[in-house]
Structure 1
Amino acid sequence: MSDLDQLTQSLARNLKHWRGERGLTLDTLAARSGVSRGMIIQIEQARTNPSVGTTVKLADALGVSITTLLDYEQGPQVRLVPPEQTVRLWSTSTGSSARLLVGAERRGPLEMWAWKLMPGDRSESDPHPEGTVELLHVSAGELTLVVDGEAYPVAAGTSATFEANVSHAYRNDGEDTVEMTMAVAVPPVR
C-alpha cells in the first residue's frame, strides 16, 4: 500500500469514527467545517485525498487535532509504530517530506525532549499524573522501553506511545548509543 493510500484509508476511518463519536450528521459537519457534504462523503469512503487545509477544517470542526485524523487507530496501552506504518503527509520532487511518526489526542502541557542513552545506561521514572502520555521516536540504536514491568524493544526508526501513569524506564541494553526524541503531554490542572 502506498503512502497516499495509507493516508487516505487512515483519514477515512478516523473521520467516520470522530463524526460518529461527536454525534454529527454529514450536514452538521459540513456546516461547521465549511467542507461540502459531498467532499466529506468522498473522504469517508476513501475516494479522495483532500488538501491539508480541508483536513485542518475538518479536524477543527470535530474538535480534534490533525494528528488524530491522520493517525492509526489507538490500540493497547503501548503502541509501537514501525517505520512502514508511519504516514507521509506531503513530499516534493526534491526529497522534502513531512511524516507523522506517532500521535495522541491530549490537552495540557506538551514537552519535547532529545535523549541520548549510552550502552548500559538506564533512566527510571515514577508514574506521572493520570492522563499523561509519552511519545517517542528512536533515531539510533535500540531502546528497551519498560512500561509497568513489561519490556518493549524499540528499534531505530520506530515510534511508540504509552500512558505514563505507571512506572516506566528507558534502557540501553545494546552496544550502540540510543538517540531518541520524546514528547510528554501532561493533562491540565483542574
Structure 2
Amino acid sequence: MGGVMQLQNRIAKNVKTIRENKKLTLDAAAKQTEVSRSMLAQIEKGEVNPTISVLWKIANGYKVSFTSLVENHNQEPLIIRAEDVAPLVEDDGKYINYPAFPFQEDKLFETYRIQIEPHGFLSARPHMAGTEEYITVFSGRVEIITAEKTFQLGEGDSLRFFADAPHSYQNIDSATAYLSMLIYYTKNQ
C-alpha cells in the first residue's frame, strides 16, 4: 500500500507544480484538461488515486508527458526494481501499467511494462499530435485498435502506430498478456 500512497502524493505534487508553472487557476485547468475542478483539487491534495484515463486528460491538457505527472523528480535511477514500481490500474485491475523509464526532455520518450488480464481492456484518449507508440508483446495475445486499423499481436510481435487518435488495447486470450510500451514524442511539441 505504501507504493500507491507514495505515487498518489507524487502525482499530487507534480500536477499542482505543473499547473502553477503554467499560471493556471483550477478553473482554467479544468477547462484545458476536461477534468472537473473538484477532481483536480482532490488530485492536487493527494485525496484520490486518479485513473490512467484521467492522468492522460491532464497530460494532454497541460501538453506534458504522462510520466511528468508520475515520476519522482528528485532522483534519476539507473536501475528500476519491479517491486519498487507502483502500478497504475484500469478496468477493475485487468489492465495494469507499470511506469519504467520516465520522460526526459533530452530523450523524448517514456517506457512502460503492461500486464493485461484475460479480457482486460483499455480505451486510450489521443496523445499529443505526432506521438508514436511502440508495442512489443512478450506473452499472450492482444488486439490493438488504432485510427487506421485493428491489429492482433501474439508473442514476439511488435507494432508502431501514431497515438494521436483514439486507440485501445484488449487481451483476446485466456492467459495474461505482457507487453512493453514505448511512447515517443516529436520534438516540435
Q: What TM-score do the two structures reach when normalised by structure 2?
A: 0.50
> Which structure has more strand as a fraction of its residues?
1
Relative to the length of structure 1, the TM-score reads 0.50
Larger-Rg structure: 1
Question: Could you say which structure has the greater relative contact order, defined with CA pairs below 8 angstroms and 6 or more residues apart?
Answer: 1
